[in-house]
């Protein structure tokens, strides 16, 4: 009898310890820490570089280049994570996994995936930058019936016949979807409207004559704000912004989003996201701190911006919490 009680006691203790350990491991994060390792809900650093965030209902899907060390070097991957609070991200798998699409050289790249949801066709349409030695300059399209894939590659092309390197995405208040793409020979970057089914780039809206990549746009209190970085490869530079009352322009001149000497705190713009809360609409910048030699370890800056009346400013990246109900963010002690 004594033995059975002892055994049962030990079993209960083990169960208690296991539960405690699992709870600690899977503990919810409350703070966003820009620039640090960002563990997903399994504890692995998020692999969604050069990414985009798509909101479907109350769920956010973060897509980006997956560059984990364990991946097959002959394939290219797009990782997908979901979250309701922009803080805790659950890995939903590599939703696009591609071998060389056709005749491209072995060193081809797939960068900056962005996913649009088309309400009419109920399809998720992914745009990516496809390149070889950064000379091919094309976009690729992949499609899925679900936000979590699998996405199927469709084709690659020059949008409207132009060269296209870094891409960004923008959905306007009326639901119209736009691709932002850097068109180097034309000396700037373009905003172009997608076709009704999002399967093509249909209409050039504007060419912003500024040597900018990592282009991102947001509409806030009657103005379009556009952010981008300079063309310095993987090295950081002072990112800049311009505003306009219409996507067609005219756009203001580009101004710094942070003190130029800090080179955007080592980050490069990728996307602007709006969180509309009961008390505040917060605009966040999603940016990448690239580590070209150890890309899997590249970090993210997801930071609330100071924005309004034609001004936009990135505060020093620091830990903060975000209240998804009120839209408010609060910096926390480090």
* Interface residues toward ligand DGJ, by CB under 6 A: 50, 111-112, 166, 213-214, 233-234, 268
Min. distance of Cβ 81 from ligand DGJ in angstroms? 19
Least distance (Å) between residue 215 CB and ligand DGJ = 10
Residues 6 or more apart in contact with residue 75 via CB below 8 angstroms: 97, 98, 99
Question: From CA 191, how far away is CA 174, in angstroms rounded?
Answer: 16
Tokens of 226: 């556009």
Least spacing, CB of residue 232 vs ligand DGJ, in Å: 8
To ligand DGJ, the closest distance from the beta carbon of 91 in angstroms equals 22
For ligand DGJ, which is the closer residue by CB, 219 or 296? 296
- The closest of 304, 234, 239, 245 to 274, measured between CA atoms, is 304
Which CB sits closer to ligand DGJ, 23 or 297?
Answer: 297
Cβ of residue 149: shortest distance to ligand DGJ, in angstroms? 22
- Closer by beta carbon to ligand DGJ, 230 or else 317: 230
Element (H, E) at 97: strand 90-98
The torsion region of residue 202 among left (phi > 0), alpha (psi -120 to 50) and beta comes to alpha
Cβ distance to ligand DGJ smaller for residue 228 or 327: 228
The smaller minimum CB distance to ligand DGJ, of residues 268 and 329, is found at 268
Sequence-separated (6 or more) residues with CB below 8 Å from residue 242: 208, 210, 225, 226, 251, 252, 253, 254, 255
Residue nearest to ligand DGJ (CB): 233
Q: Which residues contact 294 (CB under 8 A, 6 or more apart)?
A: none
């Amino acid at each position: 009898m004594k033995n059975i009680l002892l055994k049962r006691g030990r079993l209960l203790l083990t169960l208690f310890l296991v539960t405690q350990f699992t709870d600690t491991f899977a503990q919810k994060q409350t703070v966003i820490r820009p620039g640090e390792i960002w563990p997903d809900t399994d504890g692995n650093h998020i692999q969604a570089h050069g990414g985009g965030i798509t909101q479907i209902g109350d769920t956010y899907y973060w897509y980006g280049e997956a560059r984990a060390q364990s991946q097959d070097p002959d394939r290219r991957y797009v990782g997908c994570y979901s979250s309701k609070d922009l803080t805790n991200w659950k890995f939903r798998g590599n939703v696009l996994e591609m071998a060389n699409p056709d005749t491209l050289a072995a060193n081809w790249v797939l960068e900056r995936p962005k996913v649009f949801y088309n309400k009419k066709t109920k399809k998720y349409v992914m745009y990516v930058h496809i390149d070889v030695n950064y000379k091919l300059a094309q976009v690729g399209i992949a499609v899925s019936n679900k936000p979590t894939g699998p996405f199927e590659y469709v084709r690659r092309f020059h949008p409207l016949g132009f060269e296209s390197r870094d891409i960004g995405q923008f959905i306007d208040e009326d639901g119209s979807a736009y691709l932002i793409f850097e068109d180097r020979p034309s000396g700037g970057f373009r905003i172009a409207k997608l076709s009704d089914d999002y399967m093509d780039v249909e209409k050039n809206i504007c060419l912003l004559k500024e040597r900018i990549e990592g282009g991102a746009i947001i509409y806030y209190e009657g103005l379009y704000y556009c952010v981008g970085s300079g063309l310095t490869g993987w090295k950081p530079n002072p990112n800049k912004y311009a505003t306009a009352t219409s996507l067609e322009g005219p756009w203001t001149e580009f101004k710094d989003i942070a003190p130029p000497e800090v080179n955007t705190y080592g980050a490069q713009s990728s996307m602007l996201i709006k969180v509309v809360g009961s008390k505040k609409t917060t605009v966040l910048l999603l940016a990448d701190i690239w580590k070209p030699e150890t890309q899997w370890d590249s970090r993210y800056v997801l930071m609330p911006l100071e924005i309004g009346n034609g001004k936009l400013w990135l505060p020093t990246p620091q830990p903060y919490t975000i209240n998804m109900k009120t839209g408010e963010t609060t910096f926390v002690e480090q």
